[in-house]
Amino acid sequence: MKTVKADLCIDTSRVELEGFSQGGAMIAVLACTRPGVFRAAVGPSRGGPTAPSTCQPIPYLGSLGLHDVSGNSQATQTDAFAKWDGRAIESLPTAPTGGHVCAAYKGCAAGDPVIWCSFSGPHTASPTDSGQSVSWTPSEVWPFLSQF
């Protein structure tokens, strides 16, 4: 951040993170170990051995394919972020065959929403719905990030 701020004119109140798989693990660590530095985080198919054990509330969008690594689920991707925001963990919708579904945890503070996106597919950064050639991810992630 020091280098970016020194080299570029940026709005430091709107620095956001996104990382796929192991990159998702890294953004979770950064978001949680540097509270107040990042405004929001997106972790598509977050993987890796590192998972924060505590975190200040932060807007977070996580996604995962139904055919990803066994054992990964809503519980490993977004539940902790909802819990850190003081919300009860709930079962959110699972993607229909060939599609995706995104849902917000109920009760999250307006400034710190937590979104879970389930999709029918494998471990990929650019999942597509059946019959589509373009990933649905940008149409879900951009509105999420642009609200901050």
> 16: Cβ–Cβ under 8 A, 6 or more apart, which residues?
38, 39, 40, 41, 42, 145, 148
pLDDT tens for each residue of 63-97? 999 999 877 899 999 999 999 998 889 999 999 99
* Mean of pLDDT values over 102-107: 93
Q: How far apart (Å, rounded) are the C-alpha atoms in residues 145 and 41?
A: 8
* Mean of pLDDT values over 25-51: 92
